[in-house]
Amino acid sequence: MSTAQQKMVLDWTVARDDAEGLLRSLLDAKRESEKRLRSLHQSDPFKRATGRSAIDDAIASTQRMIETLNRNIRESRHLLEDLELEPAGNPRAK
């Protein structure tokens, strides 16, 4: 794997790790928000209107982003490993 290819996979891995941190923060914020609303005997107006809170949408979006990054990392690693196994200058056509 070339240095540029390694950097690409590393960058995606860092982005995925950051997204996982964001997801943890969103889940914590959701728990805190729901706890606060319960203590005030209120409900989320956006959730009442749409069936989902804005934070639920952010959580779902972040989960999809993590899944996409994981898939890209996995596929890139497999492709790069396949290319490394080919004779120099003759990458396998797929």
Domain ranges of the chain: 3-85
DSSP line for 7-38: HHHHHHHHHHHHHHHHHHHHHHHHHHHHHHHH
pLDDT tens figures, 24-68: 999 999 999 999 999 999 998 888 899 999 999 999 999 999 999
- List the Cα angle 10/27/74 in 5-degree steps: 25
Arithmetic mean of pLDDT, 66-78: 93
